[in-house]
Amino acid sequence: MRGPHNIWRLIRTGATFERTGAMRAVLDAMEAPRPLRVAARVLGWPFTWLGYRGDPSMPPITRALTALGPAYIKFGQVLSTRPDVVGQDLADQLRVLQDRLPPFSVDAAKSTIREELSVEPDSVFEEFGPPVAAASIAQVHRARLATTGEQVAVKVLRPGIERAFRRDIDAFYFAARLVELLSPASRRLKPMDVIGHFEGVVLGELDLRLESAAASEFAANTKDDRGFRVPRIVWPLSGRRVMTLGWAEGVPLGDNAALDAAGHDRRALSERVLQLFLRHALRDGFFHGDMHQGNMKVAPNGDIIAYDFGIMGYIDPYTRRVYAEILYGFIRRDYLRVAEVHFEAGYVPPDRDVHEFARALRSVGEPIFGMDATRISMGRLLAYLFEVTERFGMETRTELILLQRTMVVVEGVSRSLNPHMNIWEVARPVVEDYIKESIGPRAVVNDLIEAARVLSRFGPRLPQLIEEALIRQADTPKDEHGPSVWRRGAWTAAGAAGGAGLALLVIALV
């Protein structure tokens, strides 16, 4: 770590936070302990004059982060997905952080294209317009392909952005260690882990090949979804620092007046947005993690077009199954079964009381069922559920926090289109279809078929594996209490043999 640089950067950061009033807001939102508050005040106040002034029209926190530059803006955006770390109030403030920065020149963008793709921009693009959007990491240009005349969007990383981010991440790690040193109580927030998570997100976004791959996978998953489109990736003109994809022509989803003028049915759009998100999260386990109005347009034919795939969420099949059963339990108001699923999945420590946990879950579910349908919020239900599970020792799962955060954003988008929308009635068909697929008899058959497919690949080796297991268990010494260890091993091997025989039978049947 470069000590002098980090110290100077932190002084400038503290001074900016102090000058803009963000320091007090952050410490209050995170309920910081007194030693950390005192240290922040002592270290920041004498250097206030060194801080950036920022835009006085902005709230203190967004004003400070915007003044400090791209790395800080992106850090604020990432923290907005982690209410478990910064608290819900601060997460809400960071969620509205505007990602608008002065654009860099067209010549600089063409220079990056030339270096990255080893092509002459004027030869591959018949037209290459000025930037239409400038964000913290990259900016987007509208262009036309010389070969086909197709309109495309060209995303180009900011010059020198990789070096700038690595420099600031270095300072963030230095600050995290300093916070842990000055305030041991703050270690419960895991500052080093938070910076590590941020580094992983940013390094992924600094390689546009990864975003291109995410967009391609998302497009393949959703190709049969009616009323939804993902622009295609132009792979020959995409690389680490450049990404080219089809142009999304349409009306911004957040412009209600323009949607009405174009004759689009806002009620139908609101329902489709919510159902698409749930379908992607439950059916595919791969969903757009930043599904706000600025990342969606409505095509002239009414299709919703999604773009900007820098933040994507993934939920593994087992977790989807578990949460489907949890949701199904809530639908049936079977809170004991919901509690049991949490224990079976290992989400809640086994030393906690399952019946007490079930009563806590009832306190979450019953108020929802008694609520006016137009006021039901699935995002709020998830938030309440996470609060209860946290009290019972459930560890934080970042992929589910992103799911909750995206659910809240999608609800906001849907209700901005139709304020009287009944969230549950719109979501019910998608959820029920997934429950039938993942929990019912059809799911059991699918699981058996999948297990048979996996075991079939090991079919020729099963006799050898069983023999090796029996030999290992036979060589295990008896413990001081008798042959219990060997017996347990023998039963394990016998179970493996029985399981293998059953697997072969299933394979034969399939």
Cα separation of 240 and 116, whole Å?
7
User: Quick one: average pLDDT of 216-232?
Assistant: 95
Give me the pLDDT at residue 284, please.
92
Q: How would residue 485 be classed by pLDDT, with cut points 50, 70 and 90?
A: very low
Give me the pLDDT at residue 490, please.
43
Q: How would residue 69 be classed by pLDDT, with cut points 50, 70 and 90?
A: confident
- Lowest mean pLDDT across 253-267, 400-414, 457-471, 484-498: 484-498
Write down the pTM of the prediction. 0.73
Give me the pLDDT at residue 135, please.
81
Is residue 353 annotated as a catalytic residue, yes or no? Answer: no
Calculate what percentage of the chain has a pLDDT beyond 90.
29
Give me the pLDDT at residue 364, please.
78
pLDDT above 60 for 501: no
**203 or 368, higher pLDDT:** 203
pLDDT above 80 for 287: yes
Rg (CA), the chain: 27
CA atoms within 13 A on the CB side of 484: 4
Give me the pLDDT at residue 36, please.
67
Cα–chain center distance at 281:
11
User: Quick one: average pLDDT of 23-36?
Assistant: 70
How many helices, marked H, and strands, marked E, lie in the chain? Answer: 23, 10
User: Quick one: average pLDDT of 155-171?
Assistant: 87
**403 or 227, higher pLDDT:** 227
**403 or 380, higher pLDDT:** 403
Q: How would residue 44 be classed by pLDDT, with cut points 50, 70 and 90?
A: low
Residue carrying structure tokens 């929308």: 421
Give me the pLDDT at residue 496, please.
39
Residues 6+ apart with CB under 8 A from 445: none
User: Quick one: average pLDDT of 444-465?
Assistant: 72
**343 or 26, higher pLDDT:** 343
Q: How would residue 192 be classed by pLDDT, with cut points 50, 70 and 90?
A: confident
Give me the pLDDT at residue 495, please.
42
User: Do residues 401 and 314 lie in contact, with contact meaning Cβ atoms separated by under 8 Å?
Assistant: no
Dihedral pair phi/psi, residue 263, rounded to 5°? 80, 20
Q: Smallest Cα–Cα separation from 39: which of 190, 181, 188?
A: 181
Instruction: Provide the mean pLDDT of the chain.
Output: 79
Q: How would residue 128 be classed by pLDDT, with cut points 50, 70 and 90?
A: very high
**DSSP letter (8 states) at residue 104:** P
pLDDT above 60 for 422: yes
| 233 DSSP β-pair partners | 245
Cα–chain center distance at 251:
26
Burial of 303 (0-12, 13-18, 19+ CB in 10 A): middle
Cα separation of 161 and 140, whole Å?
15
Q: How would residue 321 be classed by pLDDT, with cut points 50, 70 and 90?
A: confident
Q: How would residue 404 be classed by pLDDT, with cut points 50, 70 and 90?
A: confident
**272 or 294, higher pLDDT:** 272
User: Quick one: average pLDDT of 298-314?
Assistant: 91
Give me the pLDDT at residue 458, please.
67
Give me the pLDDT at residue 53, please.
79
User: Quick one: average pLDDT of 110-139?
Assistant: 93
Per-residue pLDDT reduced to its tens digit, 83-112: 656 666 777 667 666 556 678 999 999 999
**231 or 290, higher pLDDT:** 231
Q: How would residue 371 be classed by pLDDT, with cut points 50, 70 and 90?
A: low
Q: Smallest Cα–Cα separation from 61: which of 21, 89, 33?
A: 21
Encoded tokens for 295: 């990342």
User: Quick one: average pLDDT of 390-403?
Assistant: 68
**DSSP letter (8 states) at residue 185:** G
Cα separation of 268 and 263, whole Å?
12
User: Quick one: average pLDDT of 327-355?
Assistant: 84
Give me the pLDDT at residue 20, please.
82
User: Quick one: average pLDDT of 354-363?
Assistant: 89
pLDDT above 60 for 183: yes
- Lowest mean pLDDT across 49-63, 236-250, 455-469: 455-469
Give me the pLDDT at residue 506, please.
35
State the virtual CA torsion across 409, 412, 417, 418 in degrees, nearest 10: 140
Helix (H) or strand (E) run with residue 424 in it: helix 423-439
User: Do residues 273 and 280 lie in contact, with contact meaning Cβ atoms separated by under 8 Å?
Assistant: no
From the candidates 84, 168, 225, 290, give the one annotated as an active-site residue.
290
Cα separation of 62 and 57, whole Å?
10
